[in-house]
Amino acid sequence: MEKPKRKTVAPATRDGSNAKHRPRPAKRRLRYTAQEVGEIFRRFAVQRPEPKGELEHVNAFTLLVAVVLSAQSTDAGVNKARRALFAAADTPAKMLDLGEATIGEYIRTIGLWRAKAKNVIALSQMLIRDFAGQVPRDRDALTKLPGVGRKTANVVLNMAFGQPTMAVDTHIFRLGNRLGLAPGKTPEEVEQGLLRVIPPEYMRHAHHWLILHGRYVCKARRPECERCVIADICKAAVKTNAIPAPLLEIGPEAEAAAV
């Protein structure tokens, strides 16, 4: 009598799933060589040797508050509202003395101002209670503050403390995917991709270079490739032309013309 054939079962993985039916992670093919990525950021560095963030602030605390206020708002709108606020309160203690209602009056022109006024009071209380009134230099500590997410923490760490972080806003998320420098479905995926490919010597200012490039040149609706310093290297699927990159001049005139 013929014995019945035994069914072969694929070995289980450590997490108990079946290896045969477990999907393999997709391999992402990099669109640029390491030399090309280095040249992209070398040109950004020539174009803007000392890039500056556009949110006005006077210290680490006011920067933190400004970034919290900027959620779903423009930097220009936040700057207009925050000037009087920071003139009245530039420390957590002074902000608490103002109170939530008064803070709300200062920032009424900003979207979601009620929730933001509440968060400013709550984060000021937490800074005083847990950090002796000082803004922490640690991402995990920062993200425990009310209204502070990973992007806000990265901005503060970069701008206030000079740490080489990558804060992915809408501009950087768009560029990471459009240019193919760091494709990702989430801001954190794009962040990790950029941290992997950007040369270390350019990480300090890479966040600002990408934001300014996305805001003023590689715009959402129509990229202005005729003004782009990396046009000949760019491998984006959507390009308005294919001109070679212009010669760069170092100096304030060249920087002003770029924006």
Among this protein's residues, is 169 annotated catalytic? Answer: yes
Contacts 24+ apart (CB under 8 A), 251-257: 254/47, 255/47, 255/48, 255/49
Partners of 18 in the β-ladder: 12
**Options 27, 151, 219, 232, the catalytic residue:** 151
Residues in a beta bridge with 223 = 218
Residue 133 gets the label, from left (phi > 0), alpha (psi -120 to 50) or beta, of left
Q: Look up residue 246 and give its two tokens.
A: 């212009």
Q: DSSP 3-state assignment of 18? A: strand
Active site residue 140: no
Q: What is the secondary structure of 201-240 as a DSSP string?
A: GGHHHHHHHHHHHHHHTB-SSSB-GGG-TTTTT---S--S
Beta strands in the chain (DSSP E): none
Length of the chain: 259
CA-based max dimension of the chain: 95
Among residues 27, 169, 185, 232, which one is catalytic? 169
Cβ atoms of 229 and 245 closer than 8 Å = yes
Question: Which residues are the active-site residues?
Answer: 151, 169
